[in-house]
Structure 1
Amino acid sequence: MNITRLGVAAARTGATAVVLGAALSGAAQAAPTELLTHRAVYDLSLAETSQAAGISGVSGRMVYEFTGGPCEGYSVAFRFVIQVSDERGQTRVTDLQTSSFEDPASKAFQFLSKTYVNRKLSEETRGRAEHADDHIALDLKKPDEREVRLSGTALFPTEHLRRLLEAADKGETILVADLFDGSETGDKVYETTSVIGARRDGPGSPGEEDAGAVAKIGDHPHWPVTIAYFDSESEDTGERMPAYQLGFLLYDNGVSRRLKLDYGDFELRGNLSDLTLIDPVTCKQ
């Protein structure tokens, strides 16, 4: 079990305003409403597990902060802390801390990620990616300093969110796109397939989540969304299985809740426990 991948996936789900970043002038026109700058807290727990996973318990918290404005771009600060216990009674605490910035035109994407295991730095990734004509030019500083050319036109997180909200607003049910978000070794591209459910009006029932936090989202329509991530470097020739899948409720203002991280042999649940609204950065006149 690679605990770091839990954090990687959570960072992508983490409130889809989300690592999918945020809206820019174009997104504000495409989406029904402006995306909400906010700080969301999710309590993490083990939903399901199989014997193969070797997991006896999981507890943790995920904090996602989305700030900025449509003229200067948006920043995401994210922290994912999780304690995993195995069947032998051993525990491992993983602390993933990431920050990223995507410019207003979604042309450039900067990212920094640090992973601590039992309080010791285990991995660090830092770099800057920029769209070119038919590729992404990547200036990677960590884990090693090098320049990389990524073929194709993979979307950055903000672009992906924009496409997802546009598709949902049009009533489309499938979105297929390559995604680059600086995760893992910093030079990885994932193939993604998003399945978008039927639109639901209003905030919906809070269920097991904090009713006050859900109420702060506002009276916005939302959609159930599941995103499957496929390793683009996989050599599988048969029916491909996703590396993992993320499920959540996505609101038209970019907030997400009722998270589910599915790794095949175990699932994590992320319940919204607190939501703080943050004033957006206004455009200079």
Structure 2
Amino acid sequence: MLCVSKRLSLANSTAILAFTVGLVPMNAAFAATAGVAAVHELAPHRAVYDMKLGEMEDQSGIAGLNGRMVYDFSGSACEGYSVNFRFVTEFQNADGGSQVTDLQTTSFEEPQAESYQFLSKTFVDQELVEATRGTARLGQDSRTVELKEPSEKSLDIGREVLFPTEHLLSIMNAAEEGVPFVAADIYDGAETGEKVYATTTVIGAKATSPVKAGSDGPDAPLAGLSYWPVTVAYFDPTDEEGSGELMPVYQLSFWLYENGISGNLKLDYGDFTIQGKMAALELYDEADCSKP
């Protein structure tokens, strides 16, 4: 799965993505707990997605959008997980202007989510406008963050908050158990490293990939695999409306395959959507955690 945490805001023309969650039975729903055990093996891979403007409303102010997303995922449950992510988009507005944003992130998550290191840079028209770097760690009573950029700062984000791959595994575990709803708070270093997002995830019925065996398309390695249709809504707990009701910052829908790869992406920002179609997929060799 595209594991990424993340956000797109026209206010600063920045894009990020995040796929992750957590669970513990609570009637028909699940709530997040730290240190979720891995049931699934995540396939190391490099996936490329072509991004284009989907549905939009007049007030969006967008005349066009196109871009490309590259998601490089490697590692294992015994080694930890590394992610290299890049999302380049070109926006055209109704006045004829355009702007190119380039988001680049790298991260490493230790086994058992003991720590999470991240570096994120955002460029607008090739000019660096934001950089975030830090390390989050699992302590005895809480998870703490040591930021180095944009300024040095220490934060306490609470013990129940999940890191990105930990969140992803929780979604997959819930899907396998037939649990249709998951709630979790996640941290991925977004928003200058000080933001924790609340998420809710709706998981649909398990299905089989429509990709035919022997296909020569970019998603050929997904032939015969099972997947779940998933929608994750991201909320900013500090952004309540006057009614006290939280509205999602955005929603991310995708097909989550049994090996953790994502397809058929859709980012919904309310007055416009972005569609993502797989353009290339390369599978890497998997580490054998059973070997000493």
Structure 1 stretch displaced more, 82-91 or 227-236 = 227-236
CA distance in 1, matches of 2:62, 2:36: 45
CA contact (8 A) 1:25 1:70 kept: no
CA contact (8 A) 1:4 1:96 kept: no
Residue 180 of structure 1 pairs with residue 187 of structure 2: yes
TM-score, normalised relative to structure 1: 0.88
Residue 109 of structure 1 pairs with residue 86 of structure 2: no
Match of 2:270 in 1: 264
Give the direction of change, closer, same or farther, for the CA distance of 1:3–1:282 in structure 2 (3 Å limit): farther
Give the direction of change, closer, same or farther, for the CA distance of 1:153–1:267 in structure 2 (3 Å limit): same
Structure 1 stretch displaced more, 127-136 or 141-150 = 127-136
Match of 2:220 in 1: 215
CA contact (8 A) 2:210 2:223 kept: no
SS of 2:131 mapped into structure 1? strand
CA contact (8 A) 1:56 1:86 kept: yes
Match of 2:47 in 1: 40
Q: Deviation at 1:146?
A: 1.3
**1:241-252 → structure 2 map (5 Å cutoff):** 241-252=247-258
CA contact (8 A) 1:3 1:94 kept: no
The one-character-per-residue Cα deviations of 1:186-224 (angstroms, maximum 9, x if unpaired) are: 0110000000000102x2258xxx962222124221000
Match of 1:204 in 2: 210
Runs of 4 or more consecutive aligned structure 1 residues displaced over 6 Å after TM superposition:
none
Match of 1:189 in 2: 196
Consecutive unaligned residues of structure 1, counting only runs of 5 or more, are: 17-23
Q: Deviation at 1:86?
A: 0.1
Q: Deviation at 1:38?
A: 0.4
**Given residue 215 of structure 1, which amino acid in structure 2 is its aligned partner?**
A
**1:20-39 → structure 2 map (5 Å cutoff):** 26-27=37-38, 30-31=39-40, 34-39=41-46
Match of 1:88 in 2: 95
TM-score, normalised relative to structure 2: 0.86
CA distance in 1, matches of 2:211, 2:57: 29
Q: Deviation at 1:67?
A: 0.8
The one-character-per-residue Cα deviations of 1:106-127 (angstroms, maximum 9, x if unpaired) are: 1100000000000000100000
Match of 1:150 in 2: 157
Q: Deviation at 1:12?
A: 1.0
SS of 1:238 mapped into structure 2? coil
CA distance in 2, matches of 1:218, 1:102: 29
Q: Deviation at 1:4?
A: 4.1
**Given residue 94 of structure 1, which amino acid in structure 2 is its aligned partner?**
T
CA contact (8 A) 2:211 2:223 kept: no
- Higher share in helix: 1
Could you tell me which of 158, 177, 184 is aligned with 1:170?
177
SS of 1:82 mapped into structure 2? strand
Q: Percent identity between the aligned chains?
A: 47
Paired residue total: 266
CA distance in 2, matches of 1:134, 1:152: 6
Q: Deviation at 1:181?
A: 0.7
The one-character-per-residue Cα deviations of 1:111-169 (angstroms, maximum 9, x if unpaired) are: 00000000000100000001223422110001101111223521111111111001000
Residue 233 of structure 1 pairs with residue 238 of structure 2: yes
Consecutive unaligned residues of structure 2, counting only runs of 5 or more, are: 1-9, 21-34
CA distance in 2, matches of 1:159, 1:255: 15
Q: Deviation at 1:94?
A: 0.2
